[in-house]
Amino acid sequence: MGEIMNKLKFVFSAIVFSAGLVITTLAHAETIKIGVSFRMLSDVGYKHGELITDTVAKWNKEGTINGQKIDLTLYNDECKSEKGVANATKLAYQDKVHVIIGSSCSSVTLPMVPVSAKAKVPQIIPHSTNADITKKGSEYIFRVPVSSRFYKIVQGKFTAENQGTKIAYIYGPDAAGKDFALSLADYMRENYNVEPTYMVQSGEKETDFRSYLTKAKATNPEVLVISALLDETVRGLVQSYEVGIPKSVHRVTASIGSKVEIPINAGSAAKGVTFSAAFAASDTRPVAKKFVKMVKDKYGVVPGHDFSQMMDLLDILEIALKKVKFTGDLAADRNKVRDAIAATTDFRGLASGPINFCKSGTPECRDGNRTPVMIEYTKGGKNFKTKVAGTVTFNASAGL
């Protein structure tokens, strides 16, 4: 008797569970699903996650996307390719999202691209700059930040014409830092026929660069490139003065220079540092001022260009999603979202220039922001100041 009751209980539970599933599915028929994968637990990564969550909550509250509900799924990829691939696969096939946002690290975004392309789900990149990402030719990929192919040209040209061609490079083992230094060195070699006076890769998490800097000093460079992660860049800048490299030597960093921790932590050593980025917190446009104030008030940090790029991405997505008439056919809806994002033209948000996408899956069409801006710190410390040293908008095929 007990066994029969157990079986009945099991059958009843199965029916209730199935009914629940059906009801849930029907209730979410009109729901738009957005999946996110990036490094969520880094210094500001968590706050980026909050920015997305808050923005989507606002859309839902105000019925911004044609009154449709947005279902948000956030995963942390820890800046590890294996996790990024797993997240993209899960978001595409199991969570059945309409669009994926991610990732921060180029080394994670690179293997995510074939996953999203195969699953035919649009993927929009908030931070990764590695030029190879869009060269894969996926029709489903969109990049909001400036590609490294533009950064290397603007930095190379600016450095050669304004600072000098005798350059010493110290770079970290991280993909972004290394990519920037090597690309810049290649650019100088190809266009100005100059070899680095000194070039070295530091060790992982190494923070004492004085031996490298002393060797770099001995080569009498006109420019010192320090291209590494945040703490390493700060230490490198401070130590460059400790070893006696004169002020007249121009200090250059990768786009990480846009992070406010650089002038705050490096203090006076940040003065004169130039970098190329997509946004500066000192931007005087009303839209930028409003954004900086909002981020300061709400998230307690001064936004660097990573923050602004995430905001631009969300604004682009909002415009695109509004245009789409969702039918409930996932494959068709994903293609509609892709086409709607691809139709983004002359979007003017926080970025240094307009963002344009187009239909083809080529880098010309999918590297949206082609306007890096050269920024210089004119004062370091808490009350740091910057000035825009130059802005240039490249044609779509530059650097390919």
Partner 1 sequence: MEKFKSIIRDYPFIAFIIAFVILAFVPSVVFTDVYQSHLATLIFVNIVVAAGLNIVKGYCGQVTVGHVGLFAVGSYTAGTLFLYLGLGFWATLPIAIIVTAFFGVAMGIPSFRLEGPYLALATLGGGEAIRLFIENGNFFRSTFGISDIPTPSLMGYNFDSPDRYYFISMTIMIIAVYFSFSILRSGVGRAFMSIREDPICAAAAGINVKKYKILAFILSAMFAGAAGAVYAHMPPGYIHPNNYTVIEMVTFLAMVVLGGLGHIWGGIIGAIVITIVYDLTRPLYKYQLLIFGLTIVLTILFMPKGLGGFIDRYFLEKRFKKKTGTEKTS
Q: Is 194 in the site for partner 1 (CB under 8 A)?
A: no
Rounded to whole angstroms, how far apart are CA atoms 338 and 321?
A: 10
Residue nearer to partner 1 on the CB measure, 40 or 337: 40
Span 136-175, contacts to partner 1 by CB under 8 A: 173-175
| Continuous H helices in 193-344 | 210-218, 230-242, 261-266, 286-299, 305-323, 330-342
Q: Which of 51, 52, 65, 115 binds partner 1 (CB under 8 A)?
A: 115
The answer to whether 279 touches 95, Cβ cutoff 8 Å, is no
Which residue is listed with tokens 């921060």? Answer: 104
Q: Is 180 in the site for partner 1 (CB under 8 A)?
A: no
Site stretch for partner 1 (CB under 8 A), options 16-24, 88-96, 277-285, 380-388:
88-96
Q: What backbone torsions phi and psi does residue 277 show, to the nearest 5 degrees? A: -150, -175
Give min distance, CB of 352 to partner 1, in A.
Answer: 26
Q: Which of 34, 55, 70, 76 binds partner 1 (CB under 8 A)?
A: 76
Tokens linked to 352: 């240094």
CB atoms within 10 A of CB 241: 16
The answer to whether 173 touches 232, Cβ cutoff 8 Å, is no
Q: Identify the burial level of 5 via C-beta atoms within 10 angstroms of its C-beta, where 0-12 means exposed, 13-18 middle and 19 or more buried.
A: exposed
Site stretch for partner 1 (CB under 8 A), options 19-27, 114-122, 255-263, 323-331:
114-122
Q: Is 31 in the site for partner 1 (CB under 8 A)?
A: no
Give min distance, CB of 39 to partner 1, in A.
Answer: 10
Give min distance, CB of 40 to partner 1, in A.
Answer: 6
Q: What backbone torsions phi and psi does residue 101 show, to the nearest 5 degrees? A: -105, 120
Binding mask 90-109 for partner 1 (x = CB under 8 A): x-xxx------------x--
Across the chain, the runs of DSSP E, i.e. the strands, are 32-38, 70-76, 99-101, 123-125, 141-146, 167-171, 198-201, 223-227, 250-253, 274-277, 367-369, 373-379, 385-391
How many residues in total does the chain contain?
A: 400
The answer to whether 278 touches 369, Cβ cutoff 8 Å, is yes
Q: Which of 41, 287, 331, 332 binds partner 1 (CB under 8 A)?
A: 41
Q: Which of 31, 64, 68, 81 binds partner 1 (CB under 8 A)?
A: 81
Site stretch for partner 1 (CB under 8 A), options 67-75, 154-162, 188-196, 258-266:
67-75
Q: What backbone torsions phi and psi does residue 72 show, to the nearest 5 degrees? A: -105, 130
Span 269-328, contacts to partner 1 by CB under 8 A: none
Q: Is 74 in the site for partner 1 (CB under 8 A)?
A: yes
384 CB-side CA count, 13 A: 30
Rounded to whole angstroms, how far apart are CA atoms 341 and 299?
A: 28
Q: Which of 179, 283, 315, 367 binds partner 1 (CB under 8 A)?
A: 179
Give min distance, CB of 36 to partner 1, in A.
Answer: 11
Q: Which of 104, 155, 201, 265 binds partner 1 (CB under 8 A)?
A: 201
Give min distance, CB of 86 to partner 1, in A.
Answer: 7
**Total number of residues that touch partner 1 (CB under 8 A):** 37
Q: Which of 20, 63, 137, 203 binds partner 1 (CB under 8 A)?
A: 203
Of 364, 361, 390, 360, nearest to 375 (Cα)? Answer: 390
Helix-helix angle 106-119:81-89, to 10 degrees: 20
Q: Which of 40, 100, 252, 310 binds partner 1 (CB under 8 A)?
A: 40
Give min distance, CB of 85 to partner 1, in A.
Answer: 6
Q: Which of 69, 86, 302, 358 binds partner 1 (CB under 8 A)?
A: 86
Helix (H, G, I), strand (E, B) or coil at 64: coil
Residue nearer to partner 1 on the CB measure, 115 or 249: 115
> To which H or E segment does residue 177 belong?
helix 175-192
Distance of CA 340 to the CA centre of its chain: 21
Give min distance, CB of 99 to partner 1, in A.
Answer: 17
Rounded to whole angstroms, how far apart are CA atoms 118 and 61?
A: 34
Instruction: Give me the residues that bind partner 1 (CB under 8 A), please.
Output: 40-41, 46, 73-76, 79-82, 85-87, 89-90, 92-94, 107, 110-111, 113-115, 118-119, 130, 132, 173-175, 178-179, 201, 203-204
